[in-house]
Structure 1
Amino acid sequence: MNPSRRRVALAALALSLTLPLTACGSGSDSASGGNTLRVWHYEEQDGALSNAWDAAIEKFKQTHPGVKIEFERKTFDQIQQSAGMILNSDKAPDVMEYNKGNATAGLLSKQGLLTDLTQVAKDRGWTSKISESASVPARYNAKGEMGGDKWYGIPNYGEFVLSYYNKDMFTKYGVSIPTDMASFEDALAKFKAAGITPLANAGNDHPASHWLYLLALSKADKKWVQDYQTFSGPIDFHGPEWTYAVNTYKDWLDKGYFDKDDVSLKGADMTEQFVSGKRPILVGGNWWFGGFKTDIKDFDWTTANFPGSKITLGSSGNLWVVPQHSKNKKLAEDFIDITMSPEIQALIGNNGNVPIAAQPDAITDPKSRELVGEFDQLQKSDGLGYYPDWPAAGYFDVLVSATQNLMNGADTKSVLDQIAAPYEKQAASRH
C-alpha cells in the first residue's frame, strides 16, 4: 500500500512478538546457518496477509522436515528505522518483509545489504507471474532507483485505488453506476441535487492528495508516469495534467461534491462516512476492502476501477527480501516460492486482499473475485501509476498540506507552486 498510509496504520501495532514455530526431523541447506530459517514480517495479526504467511509457514514445515522456523512479528516502524543497522550485522533474518521504493528497498540494495534475486526469480518462474508494471518496485539499478534490471525483492500481493459504490443509494436516487468521467460527474451532480454530498474524503491524510494524483493521471500517459516517478523526463506542474487535477478538485469543492469541512479528517473518518451510508461514493485503496466486508451490514455495495482514467494509483505490495547476510538463502528462496504458490495466492484473495499471481476464478468469494479481477485488468493494461509521494523525500506531507490549502481556498497557481518546489529541487539534485 501507500508507504505513508502503512506507516500510520502500523505504527500502533504492539511491540515485536516472537512466535517460534518448530518442525521435527533433520536436515538443512546451510552449515553456517544451521537448520533454522528466520522470518520477519510486520502484517497485523489475523489480517489477510498475516493469515497467508502463517499458512506459508505451515506449508514450509511440511515440505522441510527438520528445519526450525523462528518467526518475529515486527512493526513497520521497527523495521523501517533499524533495517540498515540490523541487515549489516550477523543478526539479520534470512527473509523479511520490507517496503518498496527508492528510499527503502532501493537504498538497501544500493548499500549492498540485499541479495540479488534476479536469476533465482527467473529460475523459479516468479518473473513470469508478475506483470511489468507490478515488478517495477521490485527491481533496482546501481543507484537504487526502482525499475532497474536487478530484482532485489519479490511482491506477493497488489494494491490499488478504486471506486466503492453504495448500490442501495444509487438505486434509491435513480443514479447509474458510472462508466466514464462524464457519467461519474453526472452521478455527483444528481446526488448533490438530492441534498447529498456524494464523495467521502479526508483532507488531513493520504485520500485527499491521492485525489489530486488520480485526476492528474486521468490526463496522463505512461510516459508521463515514468517521467514523474523516475525523473527520466521533465514534469511541468503548470501543464495540463496537474492543472486539470487542481482545477477539477477546486470545482468539485465549489459544487459541494466534496465537503470543505472534511479538511481535517483522517482516513478512518472517511471510511466511516461510507460505512454509515452518509456518502454514496468512496474512491480509495483496496486496503479498506476487508474492513468493509466486515463492517457494512445495512446496504449492498460494489467496487469498480475508477471510470475516469485508464491509470490509477497502485503497485505491487511490499517485498520479501533476502538480506545479504542471510545464513540460509536457499531456505529463504523456498519460503518465498511457497508464498507465490496457487494455494497461498488463493488464500490471500479469499481473505479480502489482492494476490499478485492468482486468477480471479481461483477466488470463491464473489466480492473478492470482483476485486481481484479489477486488479488483474489493471496489470494486463499496464494501468498501475504508483503513488504521488514516491519521488521526493518528505513529499507526502507536502501533498497533504497543498490539498488542505486548496480546500481552505488557495488558488490554483499557489497550490501548483507548492507541490512543484520540492519535486523540482529533488530533480535538480540528481544532475
Structure 2
Amino acid sequence: MKNRSRTLAALTAAGALTFTLAACSSEDGGEAETPADGDWSGETLNVMHFEGQDSAMGIAWDRAIEIFEEETGASVNLELTAFEDLRTSAEQLFDSGDAPDVAEYNKGNATAGQLAAIGVIQNLDEAYEEYGWDELLSDSVATTAQYNDEGVMGSGSYYGVPNYGEFTFLYYNEDMFAEYGIEVPESIEEIEAAAATFADAGVTPFAESVQEYPLGQLWYQFALSQADREFVNAYQLYTEPVDWQGEEISYATETLDEWIEQGYISSEATGMTAEDAGLQFINGEVPMFYSGSWWYGRFLTEVSDFEMGITNWPSTELTPGSGGNMWVVPVESEQPELARIFIDITMRPEIQALLGESGGLPVAADPADITDEDAQALIELFNEVLERDGLAFYPDWPTPNFYGDLNGVLQGLVNDDFTPEEAQAELESYYEGHVADLRE
C-alpha cells in the first residue's frame, strides 16, 4: 500500500436544495419562517464534531460546510472538540443553552441510546421520511440509529444519522515484517508467532492504550473469535443472560493476560492514550496496531518512513464495528431545520465519495465514484466483513459506564492487580448492575 499525502480535487455541489420545512428557530430563540427562496442569510448553524482536520471525515465535513454555506446563505460556526470530552459532557451540554445545533456523537446503548432515553437528543423520524435517509443505510448500519424507550438500539425511533462505516482490523509495518521474515498473518497462531519473534528480538509487537479504547477492543475481538451472533445479541441487546465465565469471555481475558505476560503488550500501555499508541505506530516504533478504520486516512498521510499494510483479524467471523458515529440534533438546538439540511448534505453522493477517496468508509456512495487505490483497499476489507455479517458493535456499548469500567478493569489486569477470573467477576458486576432490570 502506498503511503502518501493526497491532493484532493474540490467536488462541485449537485444542484440547489428545495426547502419544504416549516420553521426555523432564530438565534434569539424566536421562530423564523422558512425562506421561500432557500436563502437563510443572517442565520448561523453551530456544528460540533471531533474529527481531525486531515482525517477522511474532517475533509468531507469541511466540504459539506462549504456547500451548506453556498446553498443556504447561512454561516457555520464549527466547534471542534475531543471524543472523550464530548462523551463525558454531552448529557449536560445538549440540554443547555450552549448546545450545538448539530453534533457528531457516538452510537450505541451507552451513548446515543442513553441520551435518547432521557430526551436530550431529538427524534428524527420525520426527517428520515422527508429526506429518505433510511433508503441510504444498510440494515446493520441503521441498527445503530434506532433506539426504543429504554435506549436499546435496533428498534424504535431514529435519533441519529450514521454517515460513515467503521470497523477494526490489523495495521502492520511491512518493512519490519520483511526485516524479521514474517508473512502477513492468516491465523491467530501466526499472529502469536509473529509477536513472539518481535518480542524475542526486544521489540514490543503491539502499540496499545489502556487509558482509552484500543485494549478494550482487542479484548472484545478475542471474545468474538470464539463467539457467534447469539452471543453478540445477548451481550449487546440483552436477548439472553451473558455467561461471564463462558468460553468467549474466558478466552478473551486469559489470552490478553498471556500476551501481557509474554511482553506482546507493554505495561507502559496503562499510561498511554489512543493517540499515544497511534503515534508509536506512525513513528515506526512498533510493528502492529489493532485499531479502527478511523485512523486510516491519517496513517496514509503521516506514515512516511515505511510501507503500511492492513488485514482483517484472522480466525474470526465477527469483528468490532458498526455504522460510524452519528449526526444528532440536541434537544436545545436553536436551528433544527438547518441542522437537518446540513446532515442531508453530508449524505450526498459527492460528499460520501470524498469521504471514501480520503480514506473513510462511506455509507451512501456509488462504489464507481471511488477510484483511489488506498480507498479501494479499505473498502475491500470492509466488504469482507459485511459479506459474512461480521459487524459486532463495540465492547463498551451495553451500559452507560462500561467504557470506563472496562478500561479500569483492564488497567488492573495489565498491572497484575486482577487475575483473569477476578477481572471477569468485576466486569460481570458492572454489566449486570445495569442490564439485569432490562431482561425482566
TM-score, structure 1 length as denominator?
Answer: 0.83
**Alpha-carbon separation, structure 2, partners of 1:146 and 1:274:** 34
Specify which structure has the bigger relative contact order, considering alpha-carbon pairs within 8 angstroms and separated by 6 or more residues.
Answer: 2
Query: Which SS does the other structure have where 2:47 is aligned?
Result: strand
Structure 1 alignment gaps of length 5 or more: 1-25
| Contact 1:132–1:382 under 8 Å retained in 2 | no
Q: Does 1:118 align with 2:125?
A: yes
Aligned to 1:334: 341
| Contact 1:360–1:372 under 8 Å retained in 2 | no
Query: Which SS does the other structure have where 2:305 is aligned?
Result: coil
For 2:306, give the aligned amino acid. F
Q: Alignment partner for residue 68 of structure 1, among 60, 69, 74?
A: 74
Aligned to 1:97: 104
Percent of pairs with identical residues? 37
Q: Residue 238 of structure 1: CA displacement? A: 0.3
**Cα distance change of structure 1 residues 392 and 70 upon mapping to structure 2, 3 Å threshold:** same
| Contact 2:116–2:151 under 8 Å retained in 1 | yes
**Alpha-carbon separation, structure 2, partners of 1:83 and 1:344:** 29
Aligned to 2:432: 424
**Alpha-carbon separation, structure 2, partners of 1:289 and 1:30:** 40
| Contact 1:311–1:384 under 8 Å retained in 2 | yes
| Contact 1:360–1:373 under 8 Å retained in 2 | no
**Cα distance change of structure 1 residues 177 and 221 upon mapping to structure 2, 3 Å threshold:** same
**Alpha-carbon separation, structure 1, partners of 2:118 and 2:316:** 37
**Cα distance change of structure 1 residues 88 and 396 upon mapping to structure 2, 3 Å threshold:** closer
For 1:411, give the aligned amino acid. T
For 1:173, give the aligned amino acid. Y
For 1:154, give the aligned amino acid. V
Aligned to 2:377: 370
Aligned to 2:36: none
**Alpha-carbon separation, structure 1, partners of 2:362 and 2:399:** 28
Which of 273-282 and 170-179 deviates more?
A: 273-282
Q: Alignment partner for residue 357 of structure 1, among 364, 379, 386?
A: 364
**Alpha-carbon separation, structure 2, partners of 1:79 and 1:426:** 18
Aligned to 1:13: none
**Alpha-carbon separation, structure 1, partners of 2:157 and 2:294:** 28
Q: Alignment partner for residue 208 of structure 1, among 178, 202, 215?
A: 215
RMSD of aligned alpha carbons: 3.0
Q: Does 1:288 align with 2:295?
A: yes
Aligned to 2:6: none
Query: Which SS does the other structure have where 1:311 is aligned?
Result: coil
Q: Residue 194 of structure 1: CA displacement? A: 4.2
Query: Which SS does the other structure have where 1:320 is aligned?
Result: strand
Q: Residue 236 of structure 1: CA displacement? A: 0.8
| Contact 2:44–2:76 under 8 Å retained in 1 | yes
Which of 284-293 and 40-49 deviates more?
A: 40-49
| Contact 2:409–2:426 under 8 Å retained in 1 | yes
Q: Residue 29 of structure 1: CA displacement? A: 4.3
Aligned to 1:50: 58
Aligned to 2:183: 176
| Contact 2:94–2:330 under 8 Å retained in 1 | no
1:50-98 deviation line (CA, Å, top 9, x unaligned): 332232233234444xx42343415354696365675577x86654433
For 1:235, give the aligned amino acid. V
For 2:429, give the aligned amino acid. A
**Cα distance change of structure 1 residues 254 and 327 upon mapping to structure 2, 3 Å threshold:** closer
For 2:60, give the aligned amino acid. A
| Contact 1:253–1:259 under 8 Å retained in 2 | yes
For 2:81, give the aligned amino acid. T
Q: Does 1:228 align with 2:235?
A: yes
**Alpha-carbon separation, structure 2, partners of 1:268 and 1:127:** 34
Aligned to 1:106: 113
| Contact 1:392–1:426 under 8 Å retained in 2 | yes
| Contact 1:95–1:332 under 8 Å retained in 2 | yes
Query: Which SS does the other structure have where 2:390 is aligned?
Result: coil
Query: Which SS does the other structure have where 2:128 is aligned?
Result: helix
1:91-129 deviation line (CA, Å, top 9, x unaligned): 866544333233443344334554433354356442233
Aligned to 2:32: 33
For 1:414, give the aligned amino acid. E
| Contact 2:93–2:99 under 8 Å retained in 1 | no
**Alpha-carbon separation, structure 2, partners of 1:55 and 1:428:** 45
Q: Does 1:412 align with 2:433?
A: no
Query: Which SS does the other structure have where 1:33 is aligned?
Result: strand
| Contact 1:138–1:152 under 8 Å retained in 2 | yes
For 2:276, give the aligned amino acid. D
Q: Residue 383 of structure 1: CA displacement? A: 1.8
Query: Which SS does the other structure have where 1:160 is aligned?
Result: strand
**Alpha-carbon separation, structure 1, partners of 2:309 and 2:116:** 40
Structure 2 alignment gaps of length 5 or more: 1-17, 24-30, 34-39
Aligned to 1:162: 169
| Contact 2:110–2:396 under 8 Å retained in 1 | no
1:253-307 deviation line (CA, Å, top 9, x unaligned): 3333223343333323322332232321111122322332232211111112212
1:313-340 deviation line (CA, Å, top 9, x unaligned): 2222222234567676555433322211
**Alpha-carbon separation, structure 2, partners of 1:206 and 1:120:** 32
Aligned to 1:249: 256
| Contact 2:350–2:365 under 8 Å retained in 1 | no
Which of 148-157 and 203-212 deviates more?
A: 203-212
